Structure 1
Amino acid sequence: MSPTETRWLDADQQATWRAFIVGSTLLMDTLDRELRQEHDISLGEYEILVRLSESPDRTLRMAKIAESMRHSRSRVTHTVSRMEKDGLIRRIAATDDKRGVDAIMTDKGWELLQAAAHTHVSGVRAHFVDLADRADYAALGRVMNSVSDQLVAENPTFEDIR
């Protein structure tokens, strides 16, 4: 096969690919809407709080947040600014070299994360996990791990999201 020749998807592959695209888009939109309705926080803001909660002292370098979420630094800065105004996060000069900026989750942010986690996990369960049997869910995990492994190998900067 020449490098310019396209290996088209067969009908089943095309249907599965489109189901993945539509399903993942609808799932993310639904999870975002539920968090906004129940807690006045976006899925992106929730993910920032999760990353901070998993970091020592609930503190993480702003650049690291951007890398782990695969967002631009300016997008994360804008989101964190909003969260800072709401009292969920504080920003300080990085303690290790003073050139960077660290984000620190406040107690208010921690309380919100604890409340929002119930909504989020319930949504993930209702709209995703509980819709598949264990074998299907395990197969999806294997496929997505293969996708991740290949893409990380091709682009090592992706390792930061694992």
Structure 2
Amino acid sequence: MQIREVVERFVAAGGGKPGDPGIVVVLDAGYDAPRTAHLLDGRPVEILGRLRSDRVMRRPAPSREEFHLANRRGGRPPEHGREFVFGDPTTGAPNRPNTVTGTRLFEKATAQAWEQLHPRLTRRAAWLDREGPPPIVEGTVTRLVVQMLPSGGINKPV
């Protein structure tokens, strides 16, 4: 992986010490941000990736105590929590704080963030050669909506 090689050369040259700002790696929707984050785990990097709008994320699984309090019949606790669907605002956290900013080009811009979300990975494509179950790669999802585009086009959330 080229990104890992660049990061390792940077660290070998003396960069990425504790207290230094992390290296920000920006990926478009065609790249697998969770896989890249997993491969760069333990290195001084932060992954910023655009995800497909039809992506479904998961919340953390409930603790054993929470699960058994809610489910009196017992059983094994789930590996993943409830779904978070990008295109369905009802799956987001209620009363989630927004940041709203006025801009010159886009008029009003609204940002929301949800922490501790992870994709439910399957043993396909990038995870075929992995021993054991796919990892849980948690991150923060940020949604940005602008009031208008300068071009007059349709302003879909990013």
Bin the TM-score by the shorter chain: under 0.3
> TM (normalized to structure 1)?
0.19
TM-score, with normalisation over the residues of structure 2? 0.20
Q: Which has the higher contact order (CA 8 A, sep 6+)?
A: 1
